[in-house]
Amino acid sequence: MSNLLVQEFTNTTNAQGEFVLPQLKYSYDSVADYIDAETMEIHHTKHHQTYITKLNAALVNHADLRTQSAEALLLNLNNLPSEVQGAVRNHGGGHANHCLFWEVIAPHSGQCSKDLTNAIDNSFGNLENCLTELNNCAISVFGSGWAWLAVDQQKNLKILGTPNQDSPLSQGLLPIFGIDVWEHAYYLRYQNRRPDYISSVLKHINWDNVSARFHTVQK
Ligand code: MN3
């Protein structure tokens, strides 16, 4: 399973070895066409920060685990000490999931690489079908959760939903795109209109970033 983890994304730590909030590579208002700046700022500085704070608190007496990335912990979730499994699942998942989210919704769409385009065509027929399936999956997540495009052990693409902050990594799948469908991700602008939020975000996927994630398992 560890072959999925060619690249680690959330190793940003301070001098004490605690996870810290990654800076966004763009301003909060630069995604305003699809997510308002106030939602972005609260989501990043409050919600994401809270997952990090609680993950650090859970690992304070586990120095061996604090040397690992959040992704590595999630990949190995079922083998972690039982007293930290819940916190890693929820808060480690929250940290890793949001780190991915900020990058794949960045305001630079780029293009699907040739290899990723081929993989999408093989799994879904074409990109339009893939996005339709992703859209339907995101709409149908019950309550709070995520919809994902992920790569399995055989390097096939899969679309799946997960509840809460559960990461596809804990199922042996590498997520390459994810959309947060917790109400905190969209409520200020979209209120109950989750489908409108989802369709807006799916029009602005940062395909350069998603392609780069896909290529980490192609070697
Ligand atoms: Mn969120």
Q: For every one of its 219 residues, what pLDDT tens digit does the chain have, with 9 covering 90 and above?
A: 445 544 555 667 888 889 999 999 999 999 999 999 999 999 999 999 999 999 999 999 998 998 899 999 999 999 999 999 999 999 999 999 999 999 999 987 789 999 999 999 999 999 999 999 999 999 999 999 999 999 998 889 999 999 999 999 999 999 999 999 999 999 999 999 999 999 999 999 999 999 999 998 865
- 59 CA to centre of ligand 1 in angstroms: 21
Structure confidence at residue 2 (pLDDT): 46
Find the 61 Cα to ligand 1 centroid distance in Å. 27
Which pLDDT score, from 0 to 100, does residue 216 have? 86
Between the CA of 179 and the centroid of ligand 1 the distance, in Å, is 9
> What pLDDT, on the 0 to 100 scale, is given for residue 109?
77
Q: How far is the CA of 198 from the centre of ligand 1 (A)?
A: 14
> How many angstroms separate the alpha carbon of residue 47 from the centre of ligand 1?
6
Q: How far, in Å, is the centroid of ligand 1 from the Cα of 91? A: 11
Sheet containing 157-163: give its strands across. 157-163, 145-151, 174-180
Buried b (16+ CB within 10 A) or exposed e, 157-186: bebbbbeebbbbbbbebbbbbbbbbbeebb
DSSP secondary structure letter of residue 17: S
Calculate how far, in angstroms, residue 130's C-alpha sits from the geometric centre of ligand 1: 23
Contact status, residue 55 vs residue 19, Cβ threshold 8 Å:
yes
Q: What is the distance in A from the centroid of ligand 1 to the CA of 162?
A: 13
Euclidean distance between CA atoms 164 and 182, whole angstroms: 8
Q: How far is the CA of 180 from the centre of ligand 1 (A)?
A: 6
**Ion ligand 1 residues within 5 Å by Cβ:** 180, 182, 185
Classify the phi-psi angles of 117: left when phi > 0, otherwise alpha if psi is within -120 to 50, otherwise beta: alpha
**What token pair was written down for 68?**
């690992």
Identify the CA nearest to 206 among candidates 6, 24, 5, 3: 24
Q: From ligand 1's centre to the CA of 64, what distance in Å?
A: 28
